[in-house]
Amino acid sequence: MGAHAHIEIGRVVIDTAAWLEQRTAGPVADLTQDLLTWATRTRQTEPQPGRWPWIDVVSAWRTARGFVSPDLTDPDDRAVIRLAGTRLDADLWIARMLTPGHGKVAVVLRDDDPPTVLTDTAETADWYDADTVDIFCPARHGWTWRSGRELIDAAGRPTTLTVVFGANLDAPFTPCPGCLDHQGGRREQPCGCDGTSWIVCPICGRRCDVDLTPL
């Protein structure tokens, strides 16, 4: 198992905390406290405070404090990124902004937790990439797997899952060899594994693992 990602049944899962650590330099305590205090005070004036979602609170706080987008290429003036259905093990809202006292920050909403303000150290494109992982085997064969079927080989050349792992739509995943032997009638009893998929190295045949790609 990789330090910050792992293989489950037919999918890869990335540790969200590790993914955020790659893109930030720790919490900004005074801004987090200011946001939570402002939210508590402002929500008390709302006729239906429980119906004001955190992402709207964060956007209103951003406007009230006069913070601006850190990047003119952001898709809207709120600089909000929604990450759901990715390889991360949690859904995220990320509101990026430029502040006078702390420079670039990212307000992170994870699941239903209150927001946290973190120092933003990443390029804009890195915030939109919640899928890229490295596939590697004990013999050091490896590829970088982006979303879909796109791979980058060890030499930095683009390739695909089909070219490297075959045309099976389940690629790069296969059942474990014991399960395959049972399914093929070469083994009488099921192997008893937990069903976690394998990625078998197409070069050496050894079991691969995955981990979060360094930035």
Is 1 a member of any domain? no
Domain C-terminal end among 110, 127, 144 = 127
Is 160 a member of any domain? yes
Q: Which residues pair with 68 in a beta bridge?
A: 98
Q: Which residues pair with 211 in a beta bridge?
A: 134
Domain C-terminal end among 100, 127, 154 = 127
pLDDT at 140: 94
Is 189 a member of any domain? yes
Is 11 a member of any domain? no
Mark whether 116 and 151 lie in a shared domain: no
27-60 exposure pattern, b = at least 16 Cβ within 10 A, e = fewer: ebeebbeebbeebeeeeeeeeeeeeeebbebbbe
Q: Which amino acid is at 29?
A: A
Q: What is the dihedral of CA 211, 212, 214, 215, to 10 degrees?
A: 160
Is 8 a member of any domain? no
Mark whether 24 and 57 lie in a shared domain: yes
Mark whether 120 and 162 lie in a shared domain: no
Mark whether 121 and 187 lie in a shared domain: no
Which domain does 100 fall in, by range? Answer: 17-127
Name the stretches of the chain with pLDDT < 70. 1, 46-51, 73-78, 178, 181-185, 187, 192
Contacts of residues 97-101 at CB distance under 8 Å and 24 or more positions apart, as own/partner, are 97/62, 97/67, 97/68, 97/69, 97/70, 98/67, 98/68, 98/69, 98/70, 99/31, 99/65, 99/67
Mark whether 110 and 162 lie in a shared domain: no
Mark whether 157 and 91 lie in a shared domain: no
Mark whether 26 and 106 lie in a shared domain: yes
Is 2 a member of any domain? no
Is 9 a member of any domain? no
Mark whether 121 and 191 lie in a shared domain: no
Mark whether 122 and 140 lie in a shared domain: no
Domain C-terminal end among 127, 156, 189 = 127
Is 6 a member of any domain? no
- Structure pTM? 0.89
Domain count, the chain: 2
